[in-house]
């Protein structure tokens, strides 16, 4: 144990200089290392017969896929960009995209996108048959919407919340008036009556809250106040849409293309969130009848395909309404889309509500908040931030689902393309592919953008939670 | 609770009484609006001279339907079959395409999901591009793409693109495949198959029990494969091969109008169905891939490391350690994707694949005009299916729930 090591002991070896630093093994560093780790690691085990077979198969599979992927991507790029016909300076229309065999000038076997076709139809695909002189209205509504949206999405800008509220309240009204022309048939006598009634209700609520009508009314004053404010909002909306703006009215039958797609998507998105929150709260309520009704409502809409909902909206809704009341086609589809997406949103929100710790509910009760106060101030802010990714996913789904309105005869972007494909003036073998490619790119940009934003939000929120 | 001082607290402050009042109001307003709707509907129906009732189901339908499993099962004949037949044909065709689509989407989705987690950049990159491209483009657009852009560019009806000459080929009228035609005595092969399935179940139970008691493993998978393929095959040949195949027949000689694939020979899969299948399974596979990826990621990394530490190989680790735990996370969203696929099969109406929405709520509804009854019948099919799915999901969740002490 206590063997004495002396300096003159020849057996002892103490290294006096550092060992040379060896380069890392080839499989760990540099390009070869990267290649090994990321590509060849799974196909270079030849230690046994089985492993060799597996490696070879893996290699064949990988490089087969690589080949397929590259040829497909290259084919797509070639079709969309490199070989595509970009302009039609002579106004040849379909002949600009004809090959020699068909009587045109392009080399035989040419098969690529015919962009002049899209350029010629761009106005139709964006606005539908919206009157040409009135397009500034659509552009203005779109521009304001875009600016507002971008403003709300960028963090750190001042008064973001206020801009958001404006976007959810004033903007829809403005867009409605701009797009339709407003000037609805509104009986201003009724509006005045509503204002008077609502003022009365609010006054009663104020006085009741102050205890003028005895204690039993004091508790009910909140309901009166809510009813009064709802009525006032209704009166304001009525009076605004009834204003004679001297804009030319544009029937929704003349709308089309991207305009319809965005109107349906945005209406669905904006309406589905509040409706979905109410339904989710109802489904989590302690009141059995409310819970049952909300559950049945949600499960019904979630159980049927959107197509059948749209069929129902377009075929059955006119039957449900009294004679003379006639919704236009777009509004019917909008109602269907709203109810449908509200049910999906309700399930997402319910997931958020369930994820909230029970202590939060109890804490809110303990400090004496009422049900709506605790929901508004404590529960919902947490629950909704929890499920932002889910909400955005529902939005993406809804945005893609807007294409379904083309089946009930509303010409959204996809329906517009489908109908332009029937135009013989542009009839070429590549017409269909060009049109579908154009629509795919637009949808891809919107949906991919939304999904990236949701991932960004998710990361940001989980960063906040992790410490 | 019981000794509430009723002198100072107003009854309106009692949450339960408020709840009861609110619910009574809710029910009353629901009844009122339901009454209003029913009243309007009845008035509107009376004005247009229509009546309610399901008598129309016995009437004969006079329109043509593309040849599918449904029309074959119900031996559809325009002018002879009833609207009830149409309803059932629609249901069969919906579930046919849903079942095939679920099968394909599951295989492809699991493959893509596992590939997305691969160390191999090629596999990972391919799967990522696949998922992002297909997930972010509307299904209806993909359906149009397959149907109008791809399948329409196939050879015309007097031509053929032979995949396996003499056995399988395609043209614009569809995909032609050999059709099995069971003769007398084929029933023994079917019995053998059923027997093999039963034996497989019994055997896997026995093997599990044996492994739990003695630790010895038994090659259940390969034995099952051998049984399921071998036993019916042996029976088939022992009984003198009572299974004929009707091969597709392509003619490019003779009168011009008779050229092309001959009807009655082989089996045809109509192009609408191919397009629906392609679109549905490729689209849903992208979502399934994401679910599978999330499920595998949800299994703690320590599980993999512990399994390597006890000497299990990566393949076995995946099969015995990761997948059983990941399935608990995967199955609920997977089931709802299956439900989505089934509901999305209704998009086939856009290319006139003869499924429920297309022929029953589309063509038949236009002829009969019984909106309320027919939409109700159509929706109840989807609702029933989604309730069954939800029931399965609850059963599964209860079964795989972590047993906590």
Work out the angle at residue A281's Cα, subtended by the Cα atoms of residues A405 and B19, and round it to the nearest 5 degrees.
130
In this prediction, residue B135 has a pLDDT band, given cuts at 50, 70 and 90, of very high
Residue B10 has pLDDT above 70, yes or no: no
Q: At B310, is the secondary structure helix, strand, or coil?
A: coil
Mean pLDDT of B264-276: 84
Could you tell me the pLDDT band of residue A269, with boundaries at 50, 70 and 90?
confident
Domains in chain A: boundaries: 31-75, 124-130+255-467
Q: Is the pLDDT of residue A1 over 60?
A: no
* Interchain CB distance below 8 Å, A305 and B357: yes
Answer yes or no: is pLDDT of A5 > 60: no
Question: Would you state the pLDDT for residue A216?
Answer: 65
Q: Please give the pLDDT value at position A10.
A: 63
Q: In this predicted complex, what is the ipTM?
A: 0.85
Contact A414 B140 (CB under 8 A): yes
Q: Which of B30, B149, B383 sits opposite A293 (nearest CB)?
A: B30
Q: Compare CB distances from B144 to A303, A322, A418 and report the shortest one's residue.
A: A418
CB contact (8 A) between residue B375 and residue A312: yes
Average pLDDT over chain A reads: 85
List, in sequence order, every residue forming a beta bridge with A99; answer none if it has no partner.
A106
In A, minimum Cα distance to B356 occurs at A308
Q: What is the pLDDT of residues A54-70, one digit of tens each?
A: 889 988 999 999 999 99
d(CA A53, CA A45): 9
Q: Do B40 and A320 touch (CB under 8 A)?
A: yes
SS3 content of chain A, % helix, strand, coil (to 5): 75, 0, 25
CA separation, residue B11 to residues A89, A216, A219 (Å): 82, 8, 10
**SS3 helix, strand, coil % of chain B, rounded to 5?**
70, 5, 25
pLDDT at A44 over 90: no
What is the interface size between A and B, counted as CB pairs within 8 Å? 166
Cβ neighbours of residue A158 closer than 8 Å, sequence gap 6 or more: none
Q: Residues in chain B, how many?
A: 405
Assigned CATH for A124-130+255-467 = 1.10.3720.10
Confidence of residue A4 (pLDDT cuts 50, 70, 90): low
Residues A319, B45: C-beta atoms closer than 8 Å = yes
CA distance A163 to A143: 15
Q: Is the pLDDT of residue A467 over 50?
A: no
Tokens representing residue A95 in the block: 């002949």
Q: Is the pLDDT of residue B405 over 60?
A: no
Q: Residue A30's pLDDT is what? A: 81
Q: Which residues of A123-150 are buried (b: 16+ CB within 10 A; e: fewer)?
A: ebbbbbbbeeebeebbeebbebbeebee
Tokens of B188: 């023994």
In chain B, positions 165-224, which contact chain A (CB-CB < 8 Å)?
A: none
Q: Where are the domains of chain B?
A: 11-47, 69-178+247-400
In this prediction, residue B404 carries a pLDDT of: 58
- Rounded Cα distance between A390 and A451, Å, is 10
- Res B48: pLDDT: 80
Determine the residue among B46, B137, B145 to mutate to test chain A binding: the one whose Cβ has the most chain A Cβ atoms within 10 Å: B137
Are the C-beta atoms of A426 and A109 separated by less than 8 Å? no
pLDDT digits (tens, 9 = 90+) for B326-379: 888 888 888 889 999 999 999 999 888 888 888 888 888 888 888 888 888 999
B50-67 b/e (C-beta count within 10 Å ≥ 16 → b): eeeeeebbeeebeeebbb
Each residue's pLDDT tens digit, A68-101? 999 999 999 998 888 888 888 777 777 888 888 8
Residue found under tokens 């303990």 = A366
**Residues 317-356, chain B: which have Cβ within 8 Å of A?**
343-344, 346-347, 349-350
Alpha-carbon distances, residue A56 vs A33, A40, B58, B125, B156 (angstroms): 20, 11, 62, 20, 41
Q: Are B142 and B158 in contact (CB under 8 A)?
A: no
pLDDT tens, residue by residue, A127-146: 888 888 888 888 999 999 99
Can you tell me the distance from the alpha carbon of A304 to that of A296, in angstroms, rounded to the nearest whole number? Answer: 13
pLDDT-wise least confident of A129-133, B144-148, B152-156, B310-314: B152-156
Q: Which residue has the higher pLDDT, A226 or B400?
A: A226
Residue A466 pLDDT class (50, 70, 90 cuts): very low
Quick check: A307 and B346 CB within 8 A?
yes
Render A62-93 in DSSP notation, one character per residue.
HHHHHHHHHHHHHHHHIIIIIS-B---TT--G
Per-residue confidence (pLDDT) for residue B244, from 0 to 100: 79
User: Over 50: is that where the pLDDT of B146 sits?
Assistant: yes
Residue A310 to residue A312: CA distance in whole angstroms: 5
Asked if A271 contacts A342 with a C-beta cutoff of 8 angstroms, the reply is yes
Q: Does pLDDT of A287 surpass 70?
A: yes
Query: Cβ contact (<8 Å) for B135 and A432?
Result: no
Cα A376 off chain centre by: 24
What whole-number percentage of chain A has pLDDT above 70? 95
DSSP notation for A261-287: HHHHHHHHHHHHHHHHHHHHHHHT-S-
Chain A neighbors of B344, CB-CB under 8 A: 305
Contact call for A290 and B26, based on CB within 8 A? yes
Residue B26 contacts A, CB cutoff 8 Å: yes
To 5 degrees, how large is the angle CA A158–CA A163–CA A169?
165
Is A218's pLDDT higher than 70? Answer: no
Nearest CA in chain B to A431: B149
| pLDDT tens, residue by residue, A356-385 | 888 998 999 899 888 888 898 989 888 888
Residue A424: the pLDDT is 84
Q: How far is A239 from chain B (nearest CA, A)?
A: 26
User: For residue B245, what are the β-bridge partners?
Assistant: B180
Residue B9 has pLDDT above 70, yes or no: no
Q: Which fold has domain B69-178+247-400?
A: MetI-like fold (1.10.3720)
Inter-chain contact B23–A311, Cβ cutoff 8 Å? no
What distance in Å separates residue B356's CA from the closest CA in chain A?
Answer: 10
pLDDT for the residue B75: 76
Residue B247 DSSP label: -
pTM of the model: 0.86
> Which residues are A74's β-sheet partners?
none
């Amino acid at each position: 144990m206590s063997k004495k090591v002396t300096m003159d002991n020849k057996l002892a070896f103490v290294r006096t200089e550092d060992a040379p630093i060896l380069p890392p093994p080839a499989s760990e560093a540099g390009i070869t290392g990267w290649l090994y780790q990321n590509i060849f690691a799974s196909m270079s085990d030849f230690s046994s017969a089985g492993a060799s077979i597996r490696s070879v198969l893996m290699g064949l599979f990988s490089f087969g896929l690589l080949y397929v992927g590259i040829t497909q991507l290259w084919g797509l790029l070639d079709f969309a960009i490199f070989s595509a016909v970009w302009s039609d300076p002579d106004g040849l229309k379909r002949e600009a995209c004809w090959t020699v065999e068909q009587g045109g000038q392009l080399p035989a076997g040419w098969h690529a996108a015919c962009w002049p076709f899209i350029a010629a139809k761009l106005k139709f695909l964006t606005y539908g048959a919206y009157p040409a002189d009135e397009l500034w209205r659509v552009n203005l509504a779109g521009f304001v919407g875009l600016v507002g949206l971008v403003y709300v999405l960028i963090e750190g800008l001042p008064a973001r919340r206020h801009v958001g509220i404006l976007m959810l309240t004033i903007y829809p009204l403005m867009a409605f008036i701009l797009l339709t022309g407003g000037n609805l048939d509104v009986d201003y006598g009724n509006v005045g009556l509503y204002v008077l009634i609502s003022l009365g209700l609010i006054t009663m609520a104020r006085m009741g809250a102050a205890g003028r009508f005895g204690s039993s009314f004091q508790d009910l004053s909140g309901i009166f106040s809510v009813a009064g404010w709802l009525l006032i909002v209704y009166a304001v909306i009525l009076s605004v849409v009834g204003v004679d703006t001297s804009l030319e009215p544009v029937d929704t039958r003349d709308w089309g293309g991207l305009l319809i797609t965005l109107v349906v998507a945005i209406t669905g998105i904006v309406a589905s969130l509040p409706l979905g929150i109410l339904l989710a709260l109802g489904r989590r309520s302690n009141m059995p009848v409310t819970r049952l009704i909300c559950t049945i409502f949600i499960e019904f809409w979630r159980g049927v395909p959107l197509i059948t909902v749209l069929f129902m909206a377009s075929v059955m809704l006119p039957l449900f309404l009294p004679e003379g009341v006639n919704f236009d086609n777009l509004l019917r589809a909008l109602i269907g889309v709203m109810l449908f997406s509200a049910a999906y949103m309700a399930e997402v929100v319910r997931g958020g509500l369930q994820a909230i710790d029970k202590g939060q509910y109890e804490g809110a009760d303990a400090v004496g908040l009422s049900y709506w106060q605790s929901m508004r101030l404590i529960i919902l802010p947490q629950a909704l931030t929890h499920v932002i990714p889910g909400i955005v996913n529902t939005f993406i789904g809804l945005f893609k689902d807007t294409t379904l309105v083309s089946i009930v005869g509303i010409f959204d972007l996809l329906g517009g393309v489908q109908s332009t494909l029937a135009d013989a003036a542009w009839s070429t073998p590549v017409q269909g592919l060009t049109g579908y490619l154009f629509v795919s790119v637009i949808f891809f940009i919107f949906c991919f953008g939304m999904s990236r934003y949701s991932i960004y939000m998710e990361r940001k929120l989980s960063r906040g939670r992790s410490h | 609770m019981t000794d509430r001082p009723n002198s100072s607290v107003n009854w309106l402050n009692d949450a339960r009484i408020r709840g009861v009042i609110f619910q009574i109001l809710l029910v009353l307003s629901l009844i009122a609006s339901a009454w209003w709707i029913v009243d309007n509907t009845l008035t509107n129906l009376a004005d247009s001279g229509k009546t309610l009732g399901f008598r129309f189901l016995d009437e004969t339908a006079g329109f043509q339907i593309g040849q599918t499993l449904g029309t074959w099962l119900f031996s559809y004949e325009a002018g002879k079959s009833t609207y009830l037949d149409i309803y059932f044909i629609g249901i069969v065709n919906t579930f046919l395409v849903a079942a095939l689509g679920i099968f394909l989407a599951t295989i492809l989705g699991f493959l893509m999901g596992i590939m997305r987690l691969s160390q191999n950049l090629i596999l990972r990159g391919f799967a990522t591009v696949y998922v992002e491209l297909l997930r972010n483009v509307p299904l209806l657009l993909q359906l149009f793409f397959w149907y109008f852009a791809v399948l329409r560019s196939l050879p015309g009806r007097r031509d053929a693109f032979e995949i396996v000459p003499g056995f399988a080929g395609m043209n614009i009228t569809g995909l032609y495949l050999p059709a099995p035609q069971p003769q007398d005595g084929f029933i023994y092969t079917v019995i053998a198959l059923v027997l093999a399935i039963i034996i497989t179940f019994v055997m896997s139970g026995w093997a599990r029990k044996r492994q739990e008691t003695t630790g010895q493993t038994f090659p259940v998978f390969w034995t099952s494969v051998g049984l399921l393929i071998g036993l019916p095959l042996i029976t088939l040949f022992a009984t003198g091969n009572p299974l004929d195949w009707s091969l597709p027949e392509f003619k490019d000689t003779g009168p011009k109008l008779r050229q092309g694939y001959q009807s009655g020979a082989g089996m045809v899969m109509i192009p609408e169905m191919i397009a629906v299948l392609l679109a549905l399974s490729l689209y849903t596979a992208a979502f399934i891939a994401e679910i599978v990826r999330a499920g595998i990621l949800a299994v703690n990394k320590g599980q993999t490391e512990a399994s390597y530490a006890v000497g299990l190989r990566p393949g076995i680790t995946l099969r015995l350690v990761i997948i059983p735990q990941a399935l608990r996370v995967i199955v609920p969203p997977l089931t709802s994707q299956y439900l989505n696929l089934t509901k999305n099969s209704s998009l086939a109406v856009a290319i006139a694949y003869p499924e429920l929405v297309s022929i029953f709520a589309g063509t038949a509804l236009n002829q009969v005009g019984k909106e309320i009854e027919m939409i109700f019948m159509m929706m109840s099919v989807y609702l029933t299916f989604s309730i069954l799915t939800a029931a399965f999901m609850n059963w599964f969740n209860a079964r795989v729930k972590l047993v906590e002490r």
